[in-house]
Amino acid sequence: MLAQASQVIIERSGATPGDKTVLDSLLRIEQGLDTRTPDEGMLATTLSAARAALDEFRSRESRLGRAHLYGARSVGLDDPGMKAVVLLLEAAASEA
């Protein structure tokens, strides 16, 4: 499902990996799930991967979406879509 969602995002938005968009979060989550060990929970893995992507891209400039309009001023800020992924996973984890 993640691969399909990522492909649709690429096709519809023109996003590419590294643009500082929700696509980067989905790709990192997919990678985390592919490499997780049997003793790691799926939700913990996805949340960890989403947080890691958010942390990694915070220091980068947005290259796509509304945030790219801010250019260099987007450096140091979270991408809203990437942040939303983390918040959704945190909410799911708090209910688990």
Q: Where are the domains of the chain?
A: 2-95
User: What string of DSSP letters covers 2-64?
Assistant: HHHHHHHHHHHH---TTSSSHHHHHHHHHHHHHH--TTS-HHHHHHHHHHHHHHHHHTS---S
The whole-number pLDDT of residue 66 equals 79
Q: In this predicted model, what pLDDT tens digit does every residue of 15-49 receive, in sequence order?
A: 999 999 999 999 999 999 999 988 889 999 999 99
List b or e across 7-42, with b for residues whose CB sees 16 or more CB atoms inside 10 angstroms: eebeeeeebeeebbbbbbbbbbbbebeeebeeeeee
Q: In this predicted model, what pLDDT tens digit does every residue of 37-80 receive, in sequence order?
A: 888 899 999 999 999 999 999 999 999 887 888 889 999 999 99
Distance of alpha carbon 60 from the chain centroid: 13
C-alpha torsion angle, residues 56, 77, 67, 91 (rounded to 10): 80
The whole-number pLDDT of residue 67 equals 81
The whole-number pLDDT of residue 4 equals 96
Q: What is the pTM of this model?
A: 0.90
The whole-number pLDDT of residue 70 equals 84
Distance of alpha carbon 2 from the chain centroid: 11
The whole-number pLDDT of residue 96 equals 73
The whole-number pLDDT of residue 37 equals 86
CATH topology of domain 2-95: 1.25.40
